[in-house]
A and B are shown apart, each in its own frame.
Chain A
Amino acid sequence: ETGVTQTPRHLVMGMTNKKSLKCEQHLGHNAMYWYKQSAKKPLELMFVYSLEERVENNSVPSRFSPECPNSSHLFLHLHTLQPEDSALYLCASSQDLGGEQYFGPGTRLTVT
């Protein structure tokens, strides 16, 4: 595998479910990011990790919980989501903070 991979690619979950999104980067980068893209809205930065430490949490509701166990892996744990959380969730990595980012294909999440 090369680049940035995300699993699953599609996810349908009920409001009471708990699920996790996984991201893995094979680029040796030091920073990883979670973004949300809703229809007709710009990409919204959710969380930023640098060297496995969270450096930014952009006022994201606590029903989204990130985890970065090492510099290659990033998770987004989901619980008691709302239908308005349905969106494309993109993971990205960069060599260092602020540099060009390499994106995964995204997970299309639908909350029913």
Chain B
Amino acid sequence: DQQVKQNSPSLSVQEGRISILNCDYTNSMFDYFLWYKKYPAEGPTFLISISSIKDKNEDGRFTVFLNKSAKHLSLHIVPSQPGDSAVYFCAASARFTGTYKYIFGTGTRLKVLA
């Protein structure tokens, strides 16, 4: 049972346009969401996060939107740059009594075309 899903394995966008990466989750107990970027042969790098008490968080060219009722979050990159080409993972976390969950999606490979 995949609790965090990224249904698009890949996405191609023209340089300068907006990239929109999507992520869906199933467990309403998740209360913190994060996006990571991964280049080949490197570990993931933290990009931006959002708490469940917010619906938007912005950091430069990156904005994350959270729709709790739809259990959906998205990452917007604008304008997209060739250096943004990487695999993007969303992650959801929650602390439950007696256990801890930190679940990653399967990733979306973004290619920004020059």
Interface on A for B, CB 8 Å cutoff?
4, 33, 40-43, 45, 48, 55-56, 90, 92, 97-106
Contact = CB atoms under 8 A, between A and B. Distances in A.
B89 interface: yes
Contact of A42 (B43, B49, B104): B104
B-side interface size class? 20 to 34
Interface string B39-65: 001111110010000000000000000
B100 A100 contact: no
B99 interface: yes
B34 A33 contact: no
A42 B38 CA distance: 13
Interface of B: 2, 4, 32, 34, 36, 41-46, 49, 89, 93-95, 99-100, 102-107
11 contacts: A41-B106, A42-B104, A42-B105, A48-B100, A48-B102, A97-B100, A98-B32, A98-B94, A98-B100, A102-B46, A103-B45
B43 A55 contact: no
B42 A42 contact: no
Contacts of A4: 43
B5 to A, nearest CB: 9
Contacts of A56: 99-100
Given A33-B102, A90-B43, A101-B46, A42 B107 contact: yes
